[in-house]
Structure 1
Amino acid sequence: MEQPVVKLRNLSLGTGRPKLAVPITGKTTADILAAVDPIKAADPDVVEWRIDFFEGVTDVKQLQQTGQWLRSALGSIALLTTFRTKGEGGELELSDADYFTVCENVLAGNFTDALDVERYHDEAAVKGLVAKAHANHVVVIMSNHDFDKTPNKKDLVGRLTSMVAFGADVAKMAVMPKSADDVLTLLAATNEAHKTLSQPVITMSMGDLGKVSRLSGEVFGSCLSFATVGAASAPGQIALDHLRPELEDLKLS
């Protein structure tokens, strides 16, 4: 099967080295914009703006203005905008209705290249949001996070498959391992999904045990790895200046 590739700004996700994303988790507009220069100096492929950390996230004007300033400041770097809900490891408790409103406000602000859409909300609402993103030429990275455990391989592949069925351009799973076996489960599921799905996948096993999964994407089929410049947004993230040469060392010729 021909490998699926998704265009994200100047990037091709799903081919070659896994691309590198770094989070911005600032609470204020000033914090967010101050993070840009050190990040640009490190030259990631993608910035993930974690808007659940942003104090102004529910204020439409503030959200859109800050997003537009951030988009402008990033230059050629692709922007992924993510509201991570509390139940999936995020900072802020929002009702489902408010979650979808915030995501729609992001799209209406016309500043992001990609939008994270959590899979496990009301199905009609998820599909509606995907349609709105695509109408705005925004890439949908659909996601699910399990901070407690690693589901079995069939379950993991099933979740990634359902994301593609829901219209995801890229399907993303992050899970917590309790053992080396759990890490192997995640890698096996990644390999299977990569071979069978029509869209690229992003996967990671979190924490220290799972760090190997952040390095091995090119072998097993995860197209993006999350690294840090400054603050981490999830357990086990590796500093960008360490991760990039490691990915280069592990490249497939």
Structure 2
Amino acid sequence: MNRTVTVRGVTIGEGIPKICVPLVGKTVQEIIEEAVSLKTLDLDMVEWRADFFEHVEDISAVKTALEKIRGILDDRPIIFTFRSASEGGNREVGKEFYFELNKVIAETELADIIDVELFTHEPDVKALLEFAHQHKVFVIISNHDFAKTPSKGEIVSRLRKAQSLGGDIPKIAVMPNSSGDVITLLDASSTMAEKHADRPFITISMGGKGTISRLSGEVFGSAITFASAKAASAPGQMTVNEVRKIIKIIHENK
């Protein structure tokens, strides 16, 4: 890997993995309160999981909420994510709305990164990516499997596909059904880092079995890890303080 992504002074892809904490409030008031509390935590980035927002299908309301989040979080990097129910998210919307929502958010330039799902309409993914880059917004191209862990070759293939599409940060999160599945994910991460990646990427093995993958990114190649403040947005998330302590120990002894 030879390229990093720098967002508001945070360089992704070098040194210790960056810690991202999800914001998952349902109402504007909950979102405001949560954003204020996140300012007190030792985190690197915030991901607004807009699929939890009760008015997410009102794009004007989404923009207003994002303005409030940006106003509170000041210079913290913000990832905007609408996670589809089919990929473990809280809501499902039509393809046309999904791309329009992300396009509008990119155009505001209030979020620094948007998350776009790999297995949506490829021409639309490419068009959205180009549009986001025009507005100096980075793009995570992601894939989530909440049922199983694909083979090592398939994991690497999906990461390489996201990279070939031009995603700034490819991402895959999978569910382990055995300890061997966790090893598969870590092995795929290592292979991606050593042989294929020319940019930062994210790999996660979810659930309790996969906890080690959230802590060992610096060893196996994953550049961002996700931790919770209060409510977790995915199975197996630890608190930000726990993650910070452990990844620091790994970094110091690497």
Q: TM-score, normalised by structure 1?
A: 0.97
Deviation at 1:69, TM superposition (A): 1.3
Could you give the per-residue CA deviations for residues 208-236 of structure 1, whole angstroms, max 9, x where no partner exists?
Answer: 00000001000000000000101100000
Structure 2 residue matching 1:128: 3-state secondary structure:
helix
The answer for the alignment partner of 2:60 in structure 1 is 61
| AA aligned opposite 1:226 | F
Could you give the per-residue CA deviations for residues 185-215 of structure 1, whole angstroms, max 9, x where no partner exists?
Answer: 0001111111221111101100000000001
Aligned residue pairs: how many? 252
Distance 1:241 1:33 in 2: 21
The answer for the alignment partner of 1:50 in structure 2 is 49
- Worse overlay, 66-75 or 212-221: 66-75
Deviation at 1:4, TM superposition (A): 2.3
Matches within 5 A, 1:82-121: 82-121=81-120
The answer for the alignment partner of 2:133 in structure 1 is 134
The answer for the alignment partner of 1:249 in structure 2 is 249
Distance 1:5 1:194 in 2: 13
Distance 1:159 1:168 in 2: 12
Structure 1 residue matching 2:39: 3-state secondary structure:
helix
The answer for the alignment partner of 1:41 in structure 2 is 40
The answer for the alignment partner of 1:148 in structure 2 is 147
The answer for the alignment partner of 2:219 in structure 1 is 219
Deviation at 1:57, TM superposition (A): 1.4
The answer for the alignment partner of 1:236 in structure 2 is 236
Given that residues 44 and 77 in structure 1 are in contact (C-alpha distance below 8 angstroms), is that contact kept between their aligned partners in structure 2?
no
Distance 1:3 1:106 in 2: 29
Matches within 5 A, 1:194-205: 194-195=193-194, 196-205=196-205
Deviation at 1:61, TM superposition (A): 1.6
Given that residues 21 and 228 in structure 2 are in contact (C-alpha distance below 8 angstroms), is that contact kept between their aligned partners in structure 1?
yes
- Worse overlay, 96-105 or 178-187: 96-105
Distance 1:7 1:167 in 2: 16
Could you give the per-residue CA deviations for residues 223-253 of structure 1, whole angstroms, max 9, x where no partner exists?
Answer: 0000010110000000011110100111155
Given that residues 173 and 204 in structure 1 are in contact (C-alpha distance below 8 angstroms), is that contact kept between their aligned partners in structure 2?
yes
Could you give the per-residue CA deviations for residues 58-80 of structure 1, whole angstroms, max 9, x where no partner exists?
Answer: 21221111111111210221100
Any stretches of 5+ residues in structure 1 without a counterpart?
Answer: none
Could you give the per-residue CA deviations for residues 132-179 of structure 1, whole angstroms, max 9, x where no partner exists?
Answer: 110110010110000000000110000000001111000000000011
Distance 2:3 2:221 in 1: 11
Structure 2 residue matching 1:42: 3-state secondary structure:
coil
Structure 1 residue matching 2:149: 3-state secondary structure:
coil
Distance 1:59 1:104 in 2: 14
Distance 1:61 1:143 in 2: 25
Distance 2:221 2:112 in 1: 22
Deviation at 1:108, TM superposition (A): 2.5
Given that residues 80 and 112 in structure 1 are in contact (C-alpha distance below 8 angstroms), is that contact kept between their aligned partners in structure 2?
yes
Q: TM-score, normalised by structure 2?
A: 0.97
| AA aligned opposite 1:207 | G
Distance 1:82 1:203 in 2: 17
Given that residues 68 and 109 in structure 1 are in contact (C-alpha distance below 8 angstroms), is that contact kept between their aligned partners in structure 2?
no
Q: Which runs of 4+ in 1 moved over 2 A?
A: none
The answer for the alignment partner of 2:28 in structure 1 is 29
Deviation at 1:6, TM superposition (A): 1.0
